[in-house]
Amino acid sequence: MANNQLKRVDIIFSPYSVAPYEILRLTMHKEKSDVINELIESGLRGRGGAGFPTGLKWKYLAAEQDSEKYIICNADEGEPGTFKDRKLLVEVPRKVFSGMAIAAYVTGAKIGFLYLRREYRNLIPQLNKELDIFNESAKKFGLDFKISIFSGSGAYVCGEETALIESMEGKRGEPRNKPPFPIQNGYLGKPTLVNNVETFASTSMICRIGADKYKALGTDDQHGSKLFSISGDSPKEGVHELELGMKISDFVEEFGDGDTKAVQIGGVAGFCIPRKQFETSIIGEGNTTGGATMIFNSTRSMYNVLHNYLDFFAEESCGQCTPCRVGTQQLLKGIEAVKSGKKPASYLDDLIKLSKTMQITSKCGLGQSVTNSFASIIENFREEMIY
């Protein structure tokens, strides 16, 4: 397939180095500022979905003067269609913990948590075994940093970093007002770094292969490799590591079942791309992704798909802010009303407008991102919403 730009890579799941936590040991011989600069140089962006430059985040935490700092690995992936973190924690937890430890080394944090979503509770015994090895290694290397597991309790919104912190503090997982950001005022009011599982794994791999090699992957504006959780109408469901910069058509060709009608990129909080837009890049403008990619073939009702998403949002909104709590209910009831003929088709336009209001007024990313899938499905599959 000469034209297909899709390139598989095998960095993140590559075998471990021989001695446990060898990358960590070696990295600890480097200057802290060099490590941070290397990360910045690599162009790595947060792999949870929001896409903030990781190196900068670390630099900010390192600059905080507090003696008490926390490193939290966000393993609360709850986005429907996302399961890459699970695979990482099952197959290469050592890389994740290495990333956290390197962050601790360069920022001076002494305590780390793996915030593990409740649904992955069955992984705890094996993760604890690995943590024993880690904590022992860290001690041997002279790194004063300990990681423990904090189990979630079942709330999608806790993937939002301030909600996650609230939850760790024993409260309802309601996102905080920002500013202040966790980097200044996080867990227990202390400077806190929250990064996604894949982000930490990627940082340890960057420390292993170097920024240059990492940066060489992908395209000019999208560096590195990325894990994609692929599900839906695909014969190749699962987690795949791909170089960034491919077109959706390349992707569909590789992973679709030959009858692909639409691809949901970035989970339900992302965009639904119809066939006519397959020639665009998979990470387009403002289209950062946590890598959840769901493929729908022509037998699927996009009304059902959207209904399912909205049902999810209406349940998983934390409920504190008006646009998200009530808006999600309105969108859900609204498409039902149009479908049943109780509201005219033009009501869909009112609902899109409402979803745009939710985008600019909601307190956190949950309410802000509902419009992505909502507007893209309504705009591209309008007939299916009505008839």
Query: Is the Cβ of residue 61 or residue 295 nearer to other proteins in the bound state?
Result: 295
Phi, psi for residue 96 in degrees, rounded to 5: -65, -50
User: Between residue 332 and residue 351, which ones bind other proteins under the rule CB under 8 A?
Assistant: 333-334, 337, 343, 350
C-alpha 21: how far from its chain's center? Answer: 25
**Which listed residue (9, 209, 326, 352) binds other proteins by CB under 8 A?**
326
- Considering only the stretches 24-32, 51-59, 153-161, 241-249, report the one whose residues sit in contact with other proteins under the rule CB under 8 A: 153-161
**Which listed residue (97, 303, 309, 381) binds other proteins by CB under 8 A?**
309
Is there binding between residue 140 and other proteins (CB under 8 A)? no
Q: Which two tokens stand for residue 327?
A: 């808006």
**Which listed residue (329, 339, 352, 379) binds other proteins by CB under 8 A?**
329
Query: Is the Cβ of residue 5 or residue 151 nearer to other proteins in the bound state?
Result: 151
Query: Is the Cβ of residue 8 or residue 118 nearer to other proteins in the bound state?
Result: 118
**Which listed residue (65, 67, 153, 346) binds other proteins by CB under 8 A?**
153
CB of 106 vs other proteins, minimal distance in Å: 26
Cβ atoms of 40 and 117 within 8 Å: the answer is no
Is there binding between residue 258 and other proteins (CB under 8 A)? no
* The pairing of beta strand 238-243 with beta strand 146-151: unpaired
Is there binding between residue 155 and other proteins (CB under 8 A)? yes
Task: Please give the C-alpha separations between residue 128 and each of 34, 114, 154, 161, 366, in angstroms, as whole numbers.
Answer: 31, 11, 20, 23, 31
Q: DSSP letters of 119-141?
A: GGGGGHHHHHHHHHHHHHHHHHT
Give the up-direction half-sphere exposure of residue 284: CA atoms within 13 A in the CB hemisphere.
13
User: Between residue 15 and residue 44, which ones bind other proteins under the rule CB under 8 A?
Assistant: none
Query: CA-CA distance, 48 to 85, in Å (whole number)?
Result: 10
User: Between residue 84 and residue 123, which ones bind other proteins under the rule CB under 8 A?
Assistant: 85-86, 117-122
Query: Is the Cβ of residue 107 or residue 371 nearer to other proteins in the bound state?
Result: 371
User: Between residue 209 and residue 238, which ones bind other proteins under the rule CB under 8 A?
Assistant: 229-233, 237-238
Query: CA-CA distance, 19 to 23, in Å (whole number)?
Result: 9
Is there binding between residue 241 and other proteins (CB under 8 A)? no
Query: Is the Cβ of residue 24 or residue 230 nearer to other proteins in the bound state?
Result: 230
Query: For the stretch 199-214, what's the b/e string if a residue is b when 16 or more beta carbons lie within 10 angstroms of its beta carbon?
Result: bbbbbbbbbbeebeeb
